[in-house]
Amino acid sequence: MIEVDGLVKTFGGVRALDGVSLSVPGGTVLGLLGPNGSGKTTTVSVLSTLVRPDAGHATIGGHDVVDEAERVRELVSLTGQYASLDQALTVRENLTMFGRLTGLRRRDTAAQVDHLADTYDLGEFLDRRVGALSGGMRRRVDIACALVTRPQVLFLDEPTTGLDPRSRQAVWAAVRGLRAEGITVLLTTQYLEEADQLADRIVMLGSGRVLAEGTPGELKARTGAAVCEVTLAAPSDSERVVAALAACDLQASVDGAAGAHPVVRVPAADGADTLRRVLDVLAGVEFIDAGLRQPSLDEVFLSLTDTTRADA
């Protein structure tokens, strides 16, 4: 549904996109992951015809985003990084305005507004002014507005940044619902966990280039698995613990400033099974905290940039 080949976009001296290629099959969710300034919004802007690329091509449903921009606009919808609602209007008025502006009849718009209010649980604040809503509610209204015209492809630019866990869950549920309806979704995010939860495939951007792509599982496998972390109660135990783990083929490292509780780390190649083995070895040793920690986006990103360099 989305085909991108060698996109380049320069703003002044900044190469925002430096040859980005990607492909999204219809009815799937692509997570575009990357740190600030990596080119996520620029990619979405080119694909939604808001920005013309300097070089490269992109098509949506087979239509070129530059040469057939109008046709592409009929297929796509965009929820930008910053909410684009009219604060002075109510939720219902905003939804209705989007429907009417995009050419829906009055009666069809009203039916769509009712349907979306139902789906996104907006009923309670349908007649409240958007300016009086919380950030999470606004985000849900924003997404609903993008869906008034039932697009085939939806771009969501950082849909959950700044939301509390509950609102984030609501947006995640919305994205899963869209996928179930067969809508192709490209969402940008800075959260590995979010891409992991929602995306069929992930493309990782850094400085306008694709650093890696694959299913969430494939990318995690490249980065190395989770780490077991055990925080010991007594600093004097750490040497003994590391030796005992080594005797069981578990390579541990210890972290912790003088006087602080030492943190013992063991790469958890087998996930929870490794944690169980570590805790078996620690029987009788007093600890404050123990758990499995997944690699953070930073670690994934750093490891991928390192791999890229090693490959080059």
Residue numbers of the site for ligand ATP (CB under 6 A)? 11-12, 14, 16, 34, 36-42, 81, 190
Nearest distance, CB of residue 157 and Mg ion, angstroms = 6
Nearest distance, CB of residue 157 and ligand ATP, angstroms = 7
The tokens for 113 are: 């507004």
Cβ proximity to Mg ion, 9 vs 40, nearer residue: 40
Contact at 8 Å (CB) between 34 and 192?
A: no
Positive or negative, the CA dihedral 239, 240, 245, 247 is: positive
Cβ proximity to ligand ATP, 38 vs 96, nearer residue: 38
Cβ proximity to ligand ATP, 12 vs 284, nearer residue: 12
Burial class (CB in 10 A: 0-12, 13-18, 19+), 29: buried
Cβ proximity to ligand ATP, 77 vs 189, nearer residue: 189
Binding site for Mg ion (CB under 5 A): 40-41, 81
Nearest distance, CB of residue 24 and ligand ATP, angstroms = 18
Nearest distance, CB of residue 158 and ligand ATP, angstroms = 6
3-state helix, strand, coil in the chain (%, to 5): 40, 25, 30
Could you tell which of ligand ATP, Mg ion, none binds residue 94, using a CB distance below 5 to 8 A set by kind? none
Could you tell which of ligand ATP, Mg ion, none binds residue 149, using a CB distance below 5 to 8 A set by kind? none
Nearest distance, CB of residue 7 and ligand ATP, angstroms = 11
Q: How many CB atoms lie within 10 A of CB 274?
A: 19
Cβ proximity to ligand ATP, 95 vs 202, nearer residue: 202
Nearest distance, CB of residue 42 and Mg ion, angstroms = 8
Cβ proximity to ligand ATP, 13 vs 284, nearer residue: 13
* 49/309 Cα distance (integer angstroms): 33
Could you tell which of ligand ATP, Mg ion, none binds residue 42, using a CB distance below 5 to 8 A set by kind? ligand ATP
Could you tell which of Mg ion, ligand ATP, none binds residue 236, using a CB distance below 5 to 8 A set by kind? none
* 78/145 Cα distance (integer angstroms): 9
* 58/46 Cα distance (integer angstroms): 8
The beta-strand segments (E) located in the chain are 2-11, 14-24, 29-33, 55-60, 63-64, 76-79, 153-157, 184-189, 201-206, 209-214, 227-232, 253-255, 263-267, 287-293
Could you tell which of ligand ATP, Mg ion, none binds residue 53, using a CB distance below 5 to 8 A set by kind? none
* 81/77 Cα distance (integer angstroms): 13
Could you tell which of ligand ATP, Mg ion, none binds residue 34, using a CB distance below 5 to 8 A set by kind? ligand ATP
* 312/303 Cα distance (integer angstroms): 14
Cβ proximity to ligand ATP, 38 vs 160, nearer residue: 38
> How do strand 2-11 and strand 14-24 relate by DSSP bridges?
antiparallel
Nearest distance, CB of residue 145 and ligand ATP, angstroms = 20
> Could you give the C-alpha distances from 253 to 228, 235, 274, in angstroms and in order?
11, 14, 15
Could you tell which of Mg ion, ligand ATP, none binds residue 259, using a CB distance below 5 to 8 A set by kind? none
